[in-house]
Structure formats: C-alpha cells, structure tokens
Amino acid sequence: MKPRPAVVAFDIIETVFSLESLRERLEAAGVPGSALDLWFAQVLRDAFALDATDVYVPFKDVASGALEHLFAQHRVPADPARIGHVLAGFAELAPHADAEEAFRTLQQNGVRIVALTNGNAQNTQALLQRAGLDGMVERVISVEEIRRWKPRREVYLHAAAGAKVDPSRMALVAAHAWDIHGAGRAGLTTAYVSRGLPYPPAMLAPDVTGETLHDAALALTRLDA
C-alpha cells in the first residue's frame, strides 16, 4: 500500500466543478443540453490529438473549435455571440456539493492541496474564490505552464516539482480514468471519484476509489502516514 500523500492535486473540471450548468447555455444557443457530454468528449479528443503530435493549443481555443463543430452538427449558426455565451459558462461552474468537505478533511489531516487543471489558471483561481475554496488551495497549476495537456507524464512531474515533493508523495484526485491512468504512470498515488461509474479495466487501476469527492479524500487520509 502506498503511503499517505503529503500533497493532493485535484483535477478541476468535472472533478471539483460540475459542467451541468452548461446544459442550459447550450439549450439557449439552440443545441440540446444532452449534447454536453459529447462536446466535452470532443474537446478532450482534439486536445489529446494535438498533444500527441507535439502541438499545444489552450483549452478555450480547443473548446471553441469543438463547439463550432457541434453547432454545425445541429445546424445552429456558430456566431461569436452564441459561442461566447456558452464558453462564458466556464467562469460560473458550481462546485460539487462535497467539495468543501473533501478539501477540509485533507487540510485537517495536514495534507496540502493544489489544483491541477487543463484549463486556464486565472479562470480556475476565480472559480475557487467564487466557491470559497481558494483559502484551502496552496497553488493553481495549469498545463499552460509547460504547454502539455494531461495525461502527459510531464504535467504530473511538473506539478510535483512545483509543490516541492517527490511524485511518490503526491496524489491526484480525479473523476476521469484517463487522468488517473496518467498520474499513476507518472508515479503519483491516485484516487478515483467514481460517482457510480465503473473504472475501465484497460487503464492503470487507481490506488483508492471513492463514490464521492469526499469519499476519495477520506480514503487518501486512511493510507499509512
């Protein structure tokens, strides 16, 4: 069993903050709210393809391009106002109900917290402040700093270096199997937030699993100190 981490890095989009509020913005633009999952999957697909070919494009630009494609599929005009209205929703995402409890549990156990995101650092910091979580987060680490996307190994090693700990002393909490896989391959301890979804057997298994964000955080504190 791996030791209790000294630092926990939280994935942000979907793990700490829900995308659900974007459904209404898609619907207001003329696209079914049910297309949200497809759109986000296309964002990740395009970003991963770019990164695999050593090209870095920021999250907002990848998301905008995938949104234009989605609009075209639904025969909705991809005018700047529609695109902008949907993308502006990323600044107003709501945290999952147990996010504060998860952070506080780690903090009370002497575990440091950082945010590790494929998104923009400034937007992430604003989200944390809006949710009242920023006081518990030591630092926001964005892939913008090294111009590689998670799940590249370099991102996780950069995060550990930034937190001044060995990768073996850092854990990642994420609701994405691809993120857990990448962090595990880089030598981090991993905590998967399942929310009722099974973990893909093709991926490197997480060290601990929790049904909720707080369950995952609690499981990390129960590792041997």
What are 191-219's pLDDT values in tens digits?
A: 999 999 999 999 999 999 999 999 999 99
What are the φ and ψ backbone dihedral angles of 56, each rounded to 5 degrees?
A: -105, 125
117 forms beta bridges with: 142
Distance, CA of 14 to CA of 48 (rounded, Å): 17
pLDDT at res. 178: 99
What are 46-61's pLDDT values in tens digits?
A: 999 999 999 999 999 9
Distance, CA of 70 to CA of 78 (rounded, Å): 9
SS (H, E, C) 35-92: HHHHHHHHHHHHHHHHHHCCCCCCHHHHHHHHHHHHHHHCCCCCCHHHHHHHHHHHHH
For the chain, domains (ranges, CATH) are 7-18+93-221 (3.40.50.1000), 22-92 (1.10.150.240)
Residue type for 9, please? A
| Residue 1 reports pLDDT greater than 80 | no
Whole-model pTM above 0.85? Answer: yes
> What distances in angstroms separate CA 95 from CA 43, 100, 101, 102, one per listed residue?
21, 9, 11, 11
- Give 163's pLDDT tier (boundaries 50, 70, 90): very high
DSSP designation for 174: E
CA gyration radius for the chain? Answer: 17
